[in-house]
Amino acid sequence: MTFEDLNKHIIPMTEFTLKWRFTEEKYDCLPEQHLNELKPLDKVGAEFLADYLSNCKIHSEFPFKNGMFRNLDKTEILENNEKKVTKWLYQRAIPFDKEVYLSWDGNNGIITKWKFVVKYWNSLFYGGADDLTVFDQSLEWTLLFFHEDEIHFGTNKDFDPIAEFDEKLLVI
């Protein structure tokens, strides 16, 4: 299987195990147009992502395999610091329209755009319960939402973490 084959493994949101995060008022009820930005994967697609990460040994050491990335950064998710986390994600300098892969485990995976991750990270990740890896096919960078309310970012590119944040850009 290849990344191109993943499009054959997209399922309707109604069949996605973690749909409650995006469709139930108790958690987060996203507008239909934003839900359409998510491409949930069936078990075969989710397994492919999990196996890919495992075969690359991305998390063989915490948070990433030693020497895999030359630049590492992290932030914490604290009570009432949602805007700070959103700004931190924005400052990773990943193009908003970049297709990214989200892997929780061998059963749950999604394809979406980076902009969705920045805007809805707190719907994608639940501290204490999740480890979520976000990456693109190149593996030039990887983001790990760690269950202890930490986010780790590894990259081989130089980036400017002082870039100005404009919330208006997050309109999907």
- Count of H-run helices and E-run strands, the chain: 5, 9
Nearest to 74 by CA among 92, 59, 56, 60: 92
Determine the angle formed by the axes of helices 82-90 and 114-124, rounding to 10 degrees: 150
Given this model, what pLDDT does residue 128 score?
Answer: 86
Average pLDDT over residues 147-152: 96
Return the DSSP state at 161: T
Average pLDDT over residues 8-15: 97
Q: Residues 67-122: pLDDT tens digits?
A: 999 999 999 999 989 999 999 999 998 999 999 999 999 999 999 999 999 999 99
On the question of pLDDT at 134 being above 70, the answer is: yes
Helix (H) or strand (E) holding 74: strand 71-76
Given this model, what pLDDT does residue 127 score?
Answer: 86
Given this model, what pLDDT does residue 89 score?
Answer: 96
On the question of pLDDT at 172 being above 70, the answer is: no
Q: CB neighbours of 121 closer than 8 A, spacing ≥ 6?
A: 85, 86, 89, 145
Given this model, what pLDDT does residue 99 score?
Answer: 97
pTM of the predicted protein model = 0.91
Residue 95 · residue 117 · CB < 8 Å:
no
Backbone angles phi, psi at 85, to 5 degrees: -65, -45
Nearest to 92 by CA among 144, 153, 137: 153
Backbone angles phi, psi at 150, to 5 degrees: -125, 150
